């Protein structure tokens, strides 16, 4: 594996027409604790899917399962038609090697609640690290792309800044640019605005909205009901490790079928009014 060099082109362009993400019967345990209990979930291409739910409902854990940061204990997750973390041969699962898992992750961008920028690298180095190191894209090309992305997130003036010199909102926009630099087919957002001061939330959400308008397939775990209302195509409400309700955003948000969803939304909306 070590000696195999891949060409500096975009990874596999093979077409697959099914849903971008398809999860069936997913379970995740930590010891005796079941975090996720039989989740079925689908995201179509170009769709923005928002997952909401109370703290501890397993939504972040589920998101992390999608790019195999967490290993699932039962069920299947497919991204772009490929089983995440495994290869299925004659109905049996075979674990993938680290390098193979990594190759699949290249196509899944992830944005974390705590940004997780690399503090020892400046903004430009943060963005070009993976394109240069993982995809072997030439420096000039990677840098040009980085400048383009920085302009898109409105931070062209921060090229040489280190993460410690940026505000929370700026860090998160850089983190988004860093993930986009790998040209992912799918973007995962794990509560991207939860660690931000209220006045910085808007700048991150507007970058995400722009991304959604550009047709990126996105799965967003968030507490921002406003974002869900404005941008989401589908909304999934999770509670106690299960999907309680799932459907087109307007229906779930304004006319939920389940009592628990209604109660959660009522609370979330009143909090929003209180903080506004």
Partner 1 sequence: MTDPQEKTRPVAGPTFIDEKPVPVPRPGRWVAVVVLTLIAAWGVYTLGFEKIQRGHLMQTRLGWEVVGQYFLSPNIFNGLLMTLELTVAAMAIGIIGGVVLAVMRLSSNAMLSGASALYIWFFRGTPVLVQLLFWFNLSYMFPRIDIGIPFGPVFVSLDANTFITPFLAALLGLGLHEAAYMCEIVRAGILSVDEGQEEAAQSLGMTRRRAMFRIILPQAMKVIIPPTGSQTIGMLKMSSLASVITVVELLHSVQLIYASTYDTVPLLIVASLWYLVVTSILTVGQYYVERRYSRGSVRNQPLTPLQRLRRMLDDFHPGMRQLPPNA
| Closest to 240 measured CA to CA, from 34, 2, 12, 3 | 34
Residue 78 vs 105, nearer CB to partner 1: 105
- Does 30 participate in binding partner 1 (rule CB under 8 A)? no
Give the length of the chain.
Answer: 276
Ranges within 169-198 binding partner 1 (CB under 8 A): 175, 178-179, 182, 188
Residue 25 vs 133, nearer CB to partner 1: 133
Ranges within 108-167 binding partner 1 (CB under 8 A): 108-110, 112, 114, 116-122, 129-130, 133-135, 162-165
Tell me how far, at minimum, the Cβ of 75 lies from partner 1, in Å: 21
User: Which residues neighbour 95 within 8 Å (Cβ) at sequence distance 6 or greater?
Assistant: 85, 86
* 8 Å CB contact between 110 and 186: no
Which burial class, exposed, middle or buried, applies to 159 when counting CB atoms under 10 A from its CB (0-12, 13-18, 19+)? middle
In 82-136, which ranges are E strands? 82-83, 86-89, 92-95, 108-111
User: What does the DSSP assignment read for 172-241?
Assistant: HHHHHHHHHTT--SEEEEESTTTTS-HHHHHHHHHHHHHHHHTT-EEEEE-S-HHHHHHH-SEEEEEETT
CA gap 276, 273 in Å, rounded? 5
Residue 111 vs 238, nearer CB to partner 1: 111
Tell me how far, at minimum, the Cβ of 70 lies from partner 1, in Å: 10
Using DSSP, state whether 41 is helix, strand or coil: strand
Residue 165 vs 270, nearer CB to partner 1: 165
Tell me how far, at minimum, the Cβ of 179 lies from partner 1, in Å: 7
Tell me how far, at minimum, the Cβ of 40 lies from partner 1, in Å: 24
- Does 82 participate in binding partner 1 (rule CB under 8 A)? no
Residue 102 vs 263, nearer CB to partner 1: 102
- Does 103 participate in binding partner 1 (rule CB under 8 A)? yes
Tell me how far, at minimum, the Cβ of 26 lies from partner 1, in Å: 19
Q: Which positions touch partner 1 (CB under 8 A)?
A: 67, 69, 98-99, 102-103, 105-106, 108-110, 112, 114, 116-122, 129-130, 133-135, 162-165, 175, 178-179, 182, 188
């Amino acid at each position: 594996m070590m000696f195999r060099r891949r060409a500096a082109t975009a990874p596999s362009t093979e077409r697959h027409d099914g849903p971008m993400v398809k999860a069936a019967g997913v379970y995740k345990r930590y010891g005796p604790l079941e975090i996720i209990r039989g989740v079925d979930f689908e995201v179509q291409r170009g769709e923005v899917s928002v997952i909401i739910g109370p703290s501890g409902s397993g939504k972040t854990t589920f998101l992390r399962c999608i790019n195999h940061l967490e290993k699932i204990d039962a069920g299947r997750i497919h991204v772009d038609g490929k089983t995440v973390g495994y290869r299925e041969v004659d109905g049996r699962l075979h674990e993938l090697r680290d390098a193979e898992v990594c190759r699949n992750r290249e196509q899944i961008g992830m944005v974390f609640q705590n940004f997780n920028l690399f503090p020892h690298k400046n903004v430009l180095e943060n963005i070009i690290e993976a394109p240069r190191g993982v995809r072997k894209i030439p420096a000039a090309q990677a840098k040009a792309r980085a400048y383009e992305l920085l302009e898109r997130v409105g931070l062209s003036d921060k090229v040489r800044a280190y993460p410690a010199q940026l505000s929370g909102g700026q860090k998160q926009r850089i983190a988004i640019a860093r993930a986009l630099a790998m040209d992912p087919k799918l973007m995962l957002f794990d509560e991207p605005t939860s660690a931000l001061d209220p006045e910085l939330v808007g700048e991150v959400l507007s970058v995400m909205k722009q991304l959604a308008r550009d047709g990126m397939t996105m799965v967003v775990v968030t507490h921002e009901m406003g974002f869900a209302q404005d941008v989401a195509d589908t909304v999934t409400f999770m509670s106690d490790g299960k999907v309680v309700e799932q459907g087109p955003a307007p229906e779930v948000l304004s006319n939920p079928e389940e009592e628990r969803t209604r109660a959660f939304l009522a609370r979330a909306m009143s909090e929003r009014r209180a903080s506004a």
